[in-house]
Chain A
Amino acid sequence: MFPFLLNRLVSLALSLLAASIVIFFVLEVVPGDPAAFMLGMNASPDTVAALRHQLGLDAPLLERYFYWLFGLFRGEFGISYTYRVPVAQLVGDRLWISLPLAIYALALSTLIAFPVGILAAARRNSAADVSIMGITQLGVAIPNFWLAMLLVLAFSIGLRWFSAGGFPGWNAGFLEGMKALTLPAVALALPQASILARVMRSSLLDTLSEDYIRSARAKGLTRRQTLWRHALRNALIPVLTIIGLQFSFLLAGAIIIENVFFLPGLGRLVFQGITQRDLIVVKSVVMILVFAVILVTFLVDMTYALVDPRLRRQA
């Protein structure tokens, strides 16, 4: 197991280094000067020059790259051009919304998808299966922002159970925070649950047609026993892969939902950073997201080994 782990860690480090080069230099090519943006239409050229100097934008490109890179090693991401606070602090605040939201949505999606997917596979071609397939087809097709707007219309404007968006901050209480994340999490979870339920069903059906299942049945186990003892565990690998992908998507890709519910999450931070040319924020957040995605993939690989002993031995 140890050489395998070391191998994976080295490739992880190399991927991160490559990512840092691409991210830094591609964003340097983007037109638009952060200082000019901040000072607007009435500023004189010498004021813009003074601000560029204050922000360290007049240093040579390579020098700025290495400065940024070594900062990353020390956990320092630099100071945001526009907000004037450390990027690490900004990201930290946003992560406390994006991460719980992603976990909340993933939990909902898994809790819905597993029973639904298993039911559909166990009762293949029954009325339940057909209606589940129909509903999940619809769920896959519905864009989550549209679902979000429907939820706001029904539960915020109509019933007034939830606010239409925003986040009160965790210091307003855990329940208040979770309440603010509920509609966004549902909007994110339902389309994901539909995909996951369909994957669960087809993966389980594949497994159920394997020879060892027939052997288990021949040995005298009931349908239910074979399903729970033999089929389910073997059907989990593709499902875990999808869950891993979904988590990365939920963490980085909730940007549209964050805009609909005006949640101050990571996605919106990147979006604001791009429009305001707060490039240091964009670079650092993208870097963190790359790190998160690589880490999640790594963890999913590890869970494969837990689910499937053969993979453990190969490693």
Chain B
Amino acid sequence: MRTSLVVLAVAGALIMSTALTPAYAQARTDVRVGLVLEPPNLDPTAGAAAAIDEVVYANIFEGLTRFDANGAIIPALAESWEISGDGLTYTFHLHSGVKFHDGTGFDAEDVKFSFDRARAEGSVNAQKALFADIASVDAVDPRTVRITLSRPNGNFLFNLAWGDAVIVAPESAETNATKPVGTGPFAFIEWQQGDHVDIARNPDYWGTPVRLEKATFKFIGDPTAAFAAMMAEDLDVFPNFAAPETLSQFASDPRFEVVVGSTEGETILAMNNSKPPLDNPKVREAIAHAIDRQAIIDGAMFGYGTPIGTHFAPHHPDYVDLTAISGYDPEKSKALLAEAGITDLTLSLKLPPVEGYARRGGEIIAQQLAAIGIKTETTNLEWAQWLEQVFTGRDFDLTIVSHTEPLDIGIYARGDYYFQYKSEAFNQIMADLGNETGPAERSELFKAAQTRIAEDFANGFLFQLAKAGVQNAKLKGMWVNAPTQATDLTGVYWEE
């Protein structure tokens, strides 16, 4: 024992003296990406975790359509498509020469398999609702797929762009969780659980080959550790940097670039619409007017974030700025409370474990509510507890959460969704939207939907979550915004 200890110690001393830093001469072809959360598995069709898509979306797996950097829907595995006049039949023409990473060919049968699997009865797809309108999927010939819907769905091409709708092969579907096999420009190499995932360029890619040869995703949950890793240049980019208070330090360092964009995360003060006295619109209106959005953005998010007045992303072309409807006006709040006959009110405020918007934001909101005479009882929860108590159990008055799914205003039509907003008028707008495929009409309906929930004060609408990232100043081609949760590396390269 004693001798082996000595050997170890000598080895340790040697290592300390021979430590080197790597030097890079030419333009690099690898990239090291820092992510806050490690994905629980790598199968985007069997789990809700955004961290899965942050590794595999567009890199390893592809769907028939996909989101581009600005959130537009563009073709992916489907070269083109036709939609029948009644909006019920979609015919997709697939790219030829596409192969999965294990060498098996890709054809219409794989598409049929993927969608039938996702919508099957025992499916564990976290976004099963995306496929709810599909009546049948038919492989017409190896390069043509016909999907028939049970009712028109103006969102269908958008739904197919989600990470949950990627195409998988029957041969590898069961093992994608640990050994993902897709059709994308990068192939999976190795996953060192708890530390990193390596992917490398797929030499047989059907489309434009990527410029990077290799990419590593490293998982660093602790903000201080993330800061150290960026500063020590152990990482080249951290697209969602968890320590906004240090961003100014990176901005003033010529080695780095700070990139601030928008996300699909509508951050809301959700209210339990069915629980007295919050079932009274006057009380919800009073709470809405008590909120000073800019104070929350400055205090909790270090200034990063865009105020919203409804549940819609400000960068979306159909967004309407409705912040004035629920503008900051504490005097009006007090008057509304008096009108509703509320004198001594204490509400529970249950916060998920998000340091920024939830925990810091919760303190600020508690103060702002205290200013109009509403007391709050704050409880800090873990995610699993939050899902059980708030989301499933509906045992809450108020909570703060960011809804990060793209274009998810439809949750207000779900009646039994956790905040339990119920409105016939809103449901009608959503039903019309489902049947409508004309772009101008759809735009009008989206605007009407936004106005409806804003005027009903369904929730307190706070701000759109910003995406603040840090990257090496020579790295180009990363997404600025996050139209979906992804780290698309297909256009990334190093400037020489």
Contact = CB atoms under 8 A, between A and B. Distances in A.
Do A and B pair up? The answer is yes
Interface of A: 31-34, 36-44, 47, 50-51, 53-54, 82-85, 90, 93-94, 103-104, 107-108, 110-111, 149, 152-153, 156-157, 160-167, 169, 174-175, 178-179, 182, 185, 259-265, 268-269, 272, 275-278
Nearest to B122: A50
A302 B219 CA distance: 42
Contacts of B150: none
Interface residues of B, number: 61
A160 B38 CA distance: 26
7 contacts: A32-B385, A38-B126, A53-B122, A104-B8, A166-B234, A169-B192, A259-B225
B388 interface: yes
A42 B405 contact: yes
A38 B127 CA distance: 12
Interface in B43-60: 47-49
Interface of B: 5-6, 8-9, 11-12, 14-16, 18-19, 21, 38, 40-41, 47-49, 121-129, 177-178, 192-196, 218-222, 224-225, 228-229, 231-234, 353, 382-385, 387-389, 391-392, 403, 405, 408, 411
Given A50-B121, A263-B195, 18 more contacts: A36-B388, A36-B391, A39-B48, A40-B49, A42-B408, A47-B125, A47-B128, A82-B40, A83-B41, A90-B193, A93-B194, A104-B12, A111-B9, A175-B15, A185-B12, A262-B225, A276-B384, A277-B384
A36 B387 contact: yes
A275 B383 contact: yes
B409 to A, nearest CB: 13
Nearest to A176: B15
Given A82-B41, A84-B177, A165 B229 contact: yes
Contacts of B221: 259, 262
B42 to A, nearest CB: 10
Given A31-B388, A157-B231, A259 B222 contact: yes
Contacts of B128: 43-44, 47
A83 B40 contact: yes
B232 A264 contact: no
A264 B382 contact: no
A210 B188 CA distance: 67
Given A164-B229, A165-B220, A50 B40 contact: no
Given A31-B388, A32-B387, A110 B5 contact: yes
Contacts of B234: 156, 163-166
B5 A169 contact: no
Contacts of B5: 107, 110-111
Given A37-B383, A83-B40, A111-B5, A260 B231 contact: no
A226 B128 CA distance: 79
A43 B383 contact: no
B382 A275 contact: yes
- 5 nearest CB pairs, A to B: A264-B194, A40-B48, A32-B384, A82-B40, A164-B228
Given A37-B384, A182-B15, A157 B228 contact: yes
Contacts of A275: 353, 382-384
Contacts of B231: 156-157, 164
Contact of B126 (A47, A157, A259, A269): A47
B124 A47 contact: yes
B9 A108 contact: yes
A33 B388 contact: yes
A17 B47 CA distance: 35
Contacts of A84: 41, 177-178
Contact of A261 (B12, B124, B225): B225
A164 B233 CA distance: 9
Contact of A44 (B129, B382, B385): B129
Nearest to B5: A107
B124 to A, nearest CB: 5
A103 B38 CA distance: 27
A163 B225 CA distance: 11
Contacts of B40: 38, 82-83, 276, 278
A201 B448 CA distance: 79
Contacts of A108: 9, 12
A103 B8 CA distance: 9
Contacts of B16: 161, 182
Given A54-B124, A260-B224, A179 B192 contact: no
Nearest to A50: B122
Contact of B123 (A37, A50, A167, A261): A50
Contacts of B49: 38, 40
Nearest to A271: B221
Interface hub of B19, B21, B196, B228 (most chain A Cβ within 10 A):
B228
A31 B385 contact: yes
Contact of B222 (A110, A260, A265): A260
